[in-house]
Structure 1
Amino acid sequence: MLDNQNISARQFRKLVILFTIGTSILIVPATLASEAKQDAWIAAILGVGMGLLVIFLYNKLALMFPDMTFVQMNQRVLGKWLGKMVSIIFFSMTFAYTSALLFYAGNFFITEIMPETPLGSLVILIGIIMVMAVRYGLETFARSAEILIMTFFILFICLVFFVSPEIEFENIQPVFEVELKPLLRASIFLVVTSTINAVVLLMIFPANVNQPIEAQKSFLIGSLTGGLVMIIITLLGILVLGPFDSSNQIYPGYELTKKINIGNFLTRIDAIMAGLWMITIYFKLVLYFYASVLGFTQILEIKDYRPFTLPLGMIAIVLSLIVYPNVVYQQEWDTETANAFSLTVGIFLPLLLLVVAVFRKKMDQKKT
């Protein structure tokens, strides 16, 4: 069975890094800048720190159920029927976010790179690749992450190096001018976007990782590494574009590449940021879809998830074309609905499971 495939702690760390960065590398700097202005980089640092506390919660929960996925934990702790109901909520989140990411990927291409290409054709192509990756299994796309993450960091270093001549330190002054409330709002947005949704990784960890203890460190290190990338991108956005332009761009991270100008010869290397983003969103998309399909089959108590990859993939593609009527609706849904959804599934449910599991363990100890 493909859902019994195992990966190493090193491979898991690579998946955590790519998932944490995900869509955030393009969209998060704009929200942070709109809330925290020139102190957006400080909000990013606070957000990364808060995110590590969330990962600590996931590690604690995983330690108590070392051979189970998140769906199986629900049924073990809450009982068969209540656990299934909670797992359906989890499945609905991962599947909805799969469709949303398909839309993000297609919308980015028609907005910035291929404006005359129909959205549907791009979404179908990306969806086919997504279905193929999940159908081949966890081990296969985890190995591909080991290769592509090297490409990601090479491109990332090139971006930082090439854009550094455009830095203007006056853009981050005055420091600590923003009040605490907007700073915290920006930090919480980063946590929700890049860390809390990592609850989907509990469909892999600890059940399908060979070294659970090492994997806990990988979870923390991977989240911290991805967070550092987000801090650097946010800081570069403020230093190069300024807080006003960063907050008013849909994709401020992509706009950074348009500022590159080395001797009036090396300019407009937009493919660097496009390559960075496609690598990270691909793995985030695959992990969401993997969690959706595996969670769906475990709710139904079906052993092999492969037969469901194609039908669920087709539904996700269709849903991605109707989930957002326009970009304005997408931004409103992301801030008002998706954040609450993520907090419920990514914080409330793991906390509930942990509290109930600890309570039951103490009750069992008293009986013995």
Structure 2
Amino acid sequence: MNNIRIDLPQFTILVTLITIGDSILVLPAIPASLAKQDAWLSGILGLLIGLFVVYLLGTVGKLYPHLTLVEYNEKILGKWPGIVISILFLFYPLLSIAAHIREIGDFTTTHIMTNTPVVMVHLLFVVIIIMGARLGIEVIARSGEIFFFIFTILFFVFVIALIPLIEWKNVEPILEGGIKPVINGAITVVAFPYMELVVFLMILPYVKHQQKIRKSFLIGSLCGGLVLVIIIALTILVLGYDLTQRSFYPTFALAKSIRIGDFLERIEVILAVMWILTTYYKITFYFYILNLALAQIVRIKEPRILIYPMGLIVTVLSLVISPNAAYFNDAISKYWPFYDSTFGLLLPLFLLIVAFLRKKTVKEGY
């Protein structure tokens, strides 16, 4: 592990891909249900607040730049309290992986392979996740550079194809319900892409040029956030807030509405490829972090020996985490933001405060 190093551009691209993640498919429905036609304002406000959250994460990472989150939990809080917090943290990537795999299974069996058992979709996806995690963070980061280029091209094609379908009346009247619905929608936007980036605190020691990590962290989250703001705005402008909030996968419905002349239609495959790429990187990265964190807690030098048992656990958990897609989407929109804020905001703040108090105590000689 001491020989692992990834470059700053690779780190930035990885942050961008994971910020986008599965949110490109499902996020627009949540702020639309709260802020209605002002969901695009929730996206912009969420981006601004999200950058503050990322800045906070980068500040926590600079406390001990050569240690991972698990390691400086023990350094800041003490050995046993730190281990307890780290064990609790393990459940965050574990449940997130299971939830994202279930999301993939539900979408695939609903819109693409309707006669395929969901368990087979899960198994196939877990196999390629295990393959990626076994190759390590360096390979994940390097391959991200290649696929980010593909994603960028597909995204621009997707946006250009939607421009003729925009109806500006769909965002009128602006702020009809006041600022409160916009703020409520922004809270969900902050929770899903930005607070989830707390897992990057596990790999900061392996990034080159430590002094520039926070800047790269902010740039990556800004790029990913702009993509999501554009997606939210396009779903409202093309579909309207009512159809957006009633759809499980509003961006997929948006893609199906593209028809240019009589020769270009049914290009929702572009969205499907973008979503699969970003979601795969997000889950694989989370899975790598899960194994790395567990290995550091139990003092195992080689995290890869944990990959196959954890692959079996997340496969089973993905099947039992939710009975159906409706239950899953309802739980995600109502309860998951609180789960994200616990680990993505409260935990970093807690560590920052305790570290500050410890340093102040030492400086004053107590």
TM-score using structure 1 length: 0.97
Aligned to 1:111: 110
For residues 166 and 122 of structure 1, what CA distance do their matches in structure 2 show? 34
Map residues 1-368 of structure 1 onto 2, 5 A cutoff: 1=1, 4-205=3-204, 207-367=205-365
For residues 257 and 263 of structure 2, what CA distance do their matches in structure 1 show? 13
Instruction: Report Cα offsets for 1:258-287 as digits up to 9, x if no partner.
Output: 111111210011100001100110111011
Tell me if structure 2 keeps the 8 A contact 1:29–1:252: yes
The CA RMSD measured in Å over matched residues stands at: 1.2
For residues 11 and 268 of structure 2, what CA distance do their matches in structure 1 show? 30
Tell me if structure 1 keeps the 8 A contact 2:58–2:213: no
For residues 250 and 57 of structure 2, what CA distance do their matches in structure 1 show? 31
Tell me if structure 1 keeps the 8 A contact 2:171–2:236: yes
For residues 12 and 253 of structure 2, what CA distance do their matches in structure 1 show? 29
Tell me if structure 1 keeps the 8 A contact 2:98–2:318: yes
Paired residue type of 2:93: T
Paired residue type of 1:82: P
For residues 71 and 173 of structure 2, what CA distance do their matches in structure 1 show? 50
Q: Deviation of residue 113 (structure 1)?
A: 1.2
Paired residue type of 1:193: F
Q: Deviation of residue 4 (structure 1)?
A: 4.6
For residues 287 and 90 of structure 1, what CA distance do their matches in structure 2 show? 15
Instruction: Report Cα offsets for 1:34-87 as digits up to 9, x if no partner.
Output: 111111100000000000110111111111111011111111101111101101
Tell me if structure 2 keeps the 8 A contact 1:89–1:345: no
Gaps in structure 1 of 5+ consecutive residues: none
For residues 20 and 338 of structure 1, what CA distance do their matches in structure 2 show? 16
For residues 142 and 215 of structure 2, what CA distance do their matches in structure 1 show? 19
Tell me if structure 1 keeps the 8 A contact 2:59–2:214: no
For residues 8 and 215 of structure 1, what CA distance do their matches in structure 2 show? 10
Secondary structure of the structure 1 residue equivalent to 2:302: coil
Work out the percentage of aligned pairs sharing the same amino acid. 41
For residues 263 and 331 of structure 1, what CA distance do their matches in structure 2 show? 35
Q: Deviation of residue 25 (structure 1)?
A: 0.7
Q: Deviation of residue 178 (structure 1)?
A: 2.6
Q: Deviation of residue 331 (structure 1)?
A: 2.2
Q: Deviation of residue 314 (structure 1)?
A: 1.0
Paired residue type of 1:139: E
Q: Deviation of residue 150 (structure 1)?
A: 0.6
Instruction: Report Cα offsets for 1:239-271 as digits up to 9, x if no partner.
Output: 111111111111111111111111121001110
Classify 1:126/1:152 alpha carbon distance in 2 versus 1 (closer, same or farther; 3 Å).
Answer: same
Paired residue type of 1:113: I
For residues 51 and 229 of structure 1, what CA distance do their matches in structure 2 show? 14
Paired residue type of 1:215: I
For residues 177 and 81 of structure 2, what CA distance do their matches in structure 1 show? 45
Tell me if structure 2 keeps the 8 A contact 1:47–1:188: yes
Classify 1:189/1:4 alpha carbon distance in 2 versus 1 (closer, same or farther; 3 Å).
Answer: farther
Paired residue type of 1:263: G
Gaps in structure 2 of 5+ consecutive residues: none
Tell me if structure 2 keeps the 8 A contact 1:200–1:288: yes
Q: Deviation of residue 313 (structure 1)?
A: 0.8
